[in-house]
Amino acid sequence: MNQLDFLKERIIHVFNDLASEFSLPQNSFCITDNFSQAGTRAGKLISTELDIVEYAYPPDRHNSISKTSLILYIKPNPSFFELLIRHDHFQKLPQPATAQVKNVSDKLYTHLLFAFDDVSILEYISANTRYCLSSYSSSNTFGCCSRYKECSDQKQCVHVNKLYAYGCQYRKNLESQNIFY
């Protein structure tokens, strides 16, 4: 097993822990390998993508994806892990002391380098995923669902799909202690 495959297995555990902590469906995150389609690099891995995945709700018979939201990319490198993090995310999160910023001209991403044995990479991926969840907006926005009275009574969202519920405006009011019903 190569270093990237080992890291991906550990990221799956991080994602499962976050899904449990945030009461999200277990399939709310995905790891996708992106391969070059043309030229001399055709068929070679160019990046691994970590995403938040929102499936259609209510579920349809095709289990359609209604939205994906990028968390970060991992660029293959034989000597270290190279994470590509959006500049605005990088500025909001503390940089691990053991990671190095790669000096590269990239308008979208900050390149952060981690040694293969640096366990802080998982903490950083977890923190970045938490940040992405905190600023996540659902593909569907709505005032409230049919469970608004139950939400009011419990002073929190009780919707079964918490990722979909990120689109609920009443949930945001509840989190701000504004209870209307």
- Rounded CA gap, 111 and 79, in Å? 14
pTM of the model: 0.87
- Rounded CA gap, 102 and 112, in Å? 6
Q: Which range of residues forms the domain containing residue 159?
A: 141-181
User: Both 117 and 145 in a single domain?
Assistant: no
Residue 13 belongs to what H/E stretch?
Answer: helix 3-21
- Rounded CA gap, 156 and 150, in Å? 9
- Rounded CA gap, 139 and 136, in Å? 9
**Each residue's pLDDT expressed in tens, for the chain with a length of 181 residues:** 799 999 999 999 999 999 999 999 889 999 999 999 988 888 999 999 999 999 887 777 777 888 899 999 999 999 999 999 999 999 999 999 999 999 999 999 999 999 999 999 999 999 999 999 988 887 778 888 888 889 888 888 888 888 888 888 888 888 887 777 7
Q: How many domains does the chain have?
A: 2
| DSSP secondary structure of 62-126 | T--EEEEEEEEEEE--SSSEEEEEEHHHHHHSPPPTT-EEE----SSEEEEEE-TT-THHHHHHH
Residue 18 belongs to what H/E stretch?
Answer: helix 3-21
User: Both 171 and 128 in a single domain?
Assistant: no
User: Both 34 and 80 in a single domain?
Assistant: yes
